[in-house]
Chain A
Amino acid sequence: MITFNEILAKYSILTWGSGIIFIILLSQTVLIFFLEKYFPRKTMLKYNQIILDIFNVIGIIYAILYALLTFFVLNNFQQIENTLNAEVSTIGNIYRNMSLVEHENNIKPLQQQIYKYVEIIIYQELPYQKQGVINVKSELPGWNKLETISRMILKQPMNEFIKSKLIDNLNDLYQYRRDRLNSSSLQLPNGIWIITVLSILFMLMNLAIIGCSTLKSKMIAAYLLGISVGLMVILVAVIDRPFVSGDYINDQYYRNLLAHMVNMYGKEYFGLE
């Protein structure tokens, strides 16, 4: 069975977003016609005040819930961006501190390994994270490369304080890397989504039993609410899965770092054409 993450990764936001709104509007229409049998809109006219008062209260409760959910996922989104930025900064620090090693022959292999590590992130890990399939196997090349870099640093004869700085930087890098990899699986718990979907259903149902002399007014009001709530769901879903849905978390930070390295030392230094 296809998961929500796979849908997000496979289709554009326009496609799945329209799908969500279409499903909401369809459910709305079905609900209105189904409830019309048991609660005819002309009979319900006299209960309108009570229904609309209740609708108002429930609506405001859910309105606050959706807005806070959006705020919560937006906060997470920004934390992920900060983690990426911190990871790039730490790689940059390691790269720079490596250039302080005394003998030039010892610097080149270390810096080449760092370059390859950034390439692994850009061309292997981030695409996997975007597809939502990051796992032990897809993480392995990156971890191996980092292990190689750590060993090379430890074995390399160099000034003790530079070595100490490099080890500190490496510890930070391990931490940020772990945070980045974990962040691709961080998302709102399924329970919250179930409650959200149910709450939408209740709101739609509430509006579907409102008394009205014409169906047109009821449909317009119901569709307005349906589209508004649908848009909120799309927004929360996109920001909740920043790696999977679109290019909201991108590899630009890493690409800038590679460009900076090439600019400083030239393509030949890293064995590029």
Chain B
Amino acid sequence: MSIYNYILSHFPIWLWGSVLILVALLVQTSIIFCVRYIYYSHSEKQEISEIGLWVFQVTGTIYAILLGLLNYVALNNFQNLKINLINEANQIGNIFRIIDTSMDRTTAQPFEHQLFQYLDQVIFHEFKIEQNGYAVLSIEQREPGWKYLSVFVKSIIQSSSINDTTKSKILDNLNDLYNSRRIRINHFSPLPNIIWYISSISIFLMMFNIAICTTKSIRVNILVSYLFVISICLILIITIDINKPFFGAITLSDKEFLYVRKNMLNVFGINYLTDTRTLDSQGIKHDHFQ
């Protein structure tokens, strides 16, 4: 896990946000004093202030639109990922429903049990790991989930008591489930790093620019610069937070999965779904898994 992800997932937004603003204000203060050191005569201050203001308006417009759009892209990605989570939970619910409605209880129980185990794996292991700062799950972290699904698929296909139409329907839902799952566990940062590097340099340039705009009075200079820095930092903080959808203040929740799990439990009860054995035709219990 990178330090960046660690900070975002383990510290509250107000803490790292305040530190970011504080650092930015410190940098801004040093810039202001540097500029005042370069421009000591009153006429020079006035002149650079005028020209600097025009440049600030142009570059300010570029970055204002850019930051706004970046925020929009991050928000859009967040929303897409949320829809993907809902789809994933829905697919599990759909498969569960198909099994429940198309098979008798004895045939259905092992499959429902396997699906329930997979759902538990997603909610209590994978989601927790993702919320702990792992935006992309490692092979070891994702493999148990895949294995549950593989066992489930194989047992569905090898089962002679399920007809081809049901198998085909379950497979269609499984394909969608696999796609949604892959999007969730492979979720890379939606905004490429280069955008953050260039935005940081640009913000630094803007901070320099605003420092030269108001050199006439030190009080006005500091007040205006600080206002600017705080405003920009607030936008950055919100964009950084949205850009990491699994952790931070604005985060995706596992409530869709929990809802499906609750429904399963309501319909069948915990004993039915967690019993690892099933009845055969003679009423003797056997293990589901070898």
- A residues contacting B by CB (< 8 A) are 13, 48, 52, 55-56, 59-60, 62-64, 66-68, 70-71, 74-75, 77-78, 81, 85-86, 88-89, 92-93, 96-97, 99-100, 159, 161, 165, 169, 203, 207, 210, 212-214, 216-218, 220-221, 224-225, 227-229, 231-232, 234-235, 238-239, 242, 246, 248, 252-253, 256, 259-260, 263-264
> Contacts A55-B54, A246-B194 known; A224 to B208 CB distance under 8 Å?
yes
Residue of A nearest to B165 (CB): A161
- Decide if B164 touches A159 in the complex (CB within 8 Å): yes
The reply on B157 being an interface residue by CB < 8 A is yes
Bound CA span A246–B197, Å: 14
> Contacts A96-B178, A235-B198 known; A63 to B186 CB distance under 8 Å?
no
> Contacts A97-B171, A252-B188, A264-B146 known; A89 to B164 CB distance under 8 Å?
no
Number of A-B residue pairs having CB atoms within 8 Å of each other in the complex: 164
Bound CA span A267–B154, Å: 21
Query: B interface, how many residues as a size bin?
Result: 35 or more
Bound CA span A236–B10, Å: 33
Q: How far is the CB of A36 from chain B (nearest CB, A)?
A: 15
- Decide if B48 touches A231 in the complex (CB within 8 Å): no
Quick check: which of B11-19, B20-28, B58-66, B118-126 contacts chain A, the rest being far away?
Answer: B58-66
CB-CB under 8 A from A67, the residues of chain B are 61-62, 65-66, 69
The reply on B266 being an interface residue by CB < 8 A is no
| Sample of 9 A–B contacts (CB below 8 Å) | A70-B66, A74-B73, A78-B190, A81-B188, A165-B171, A207-B55, A212-B51, A231-B198, A239-B192
Q: How far is the CB of B172 from chain A (nearest CB, A)?
A: 8
Beyond the given pairs A66-B66, A207-B55, 7 more chain A to chain B contacts, judged by CB atoms under 8 angstroms and listed by A's residue number, are A55-B58, A71-B69, A74-B191, A96-B153, A213-B43, A221-B212, A224-B52
The reply on B175 being an interface residue by CB < 8 A is yes
CB-CB under 8 A from A161, the residues of chain B are 164, 167-168, 171
Q: Which of A48, A71, A210, A229 has the most CB of B within 10 A?
A: A71
- Decide if A213 touches B47 in the complex (CB within 8 Å): yes
- Decide if B61 touches A228 in the complex (CB within 8 Å): no
- Secondary structure at the A interface, as helix, strand, loop or mixed, is helix
Q: How far is the CB of B106 from chain A (nearest CB, A)?
A: 23
Q: How far is the CB of A70 from chain B (nearest CB, A)?
A: 6
- B residues contacting A by CB (< 8 A) are 38, 43-44, 47-48, 50-52, 54-55, 57-59, 61-63, 65-66, 69, 73, 77, 136, 139, 142-143, 146-147, 150, 153-154, 157, 164, 167-168, 171, 175, 178-179, 182-183, 186, 188, 190-192, 194-195, 198, 201-202, 205-206, 208-209, 212
- Decide if B65 touches A68 in the complex (CB within 8 Å): yes
- Decide if B205 touches A59 in the complex (CB within 8 Å): no
- Decide if B182 touches A224 in the complex (CB within 8 Å): no
Q: Which of A59, A161, A228, A229 has the most CB of B within 10 A?
A: A228
CB-CB under 8 A from A252, the residues of chain B are 136, 186, 188
CB-CB under 8 A from B209, the residues of chain A are 224
- Decide if B179 touches A89 in the complex (CB within 8 Å): yes
B38, B136, B143: the one contacting A260 at CB < 8 Å is: B143
> Contacts A225-B59, A239-B194 known; A256 to B186 CB distance under 8 Å?
yes
CB-CB under 8 A from A210, the residues of chain B are 51
A169, A218, A228: the one contacting B62 at CB < 8 Å is: A228
Residue of B nearest to A263 (CB): B143
- Decide if B65 touches A89 in the complex (CB within 8 Å): no
Q: How far is the CB of B136 from chain A (nearest CB, A)?
A: 8
> Contacts A210-B51, A217-B47 known; A77 to B192 CB distance under 8 Å?
yes
Bound CA span A66–B205, Å: 17
A52, A64, A238: the one contacting B65 at CB < 8 Å is: A64
Bound CA span A78–B146, Å: 26
CB-CB under 8 A from B188, the residues of chain A are 81, 252
- Decide if B58 touches A59 in the complex (CB within 8 Å): yes
B57, B73, B146: the one contacting A60 at CB < 8 Å is: B57
- Decide if A217 touches B44 in the complex (CB within 8 Å): yes
- Decide if B139 touches A259 in the complex (CB within 8 Å): yes
- Decide if B47 touches A253 in the complex (CB within 8 Å): no
- Decide if A88 touches B182 in the complex (CB within 8 Å): yes
- Decide if B205 touches A228 in the complex (CB within 8 Å): yes
CB-CB under 8 A from A75, the residues of chain B are 73
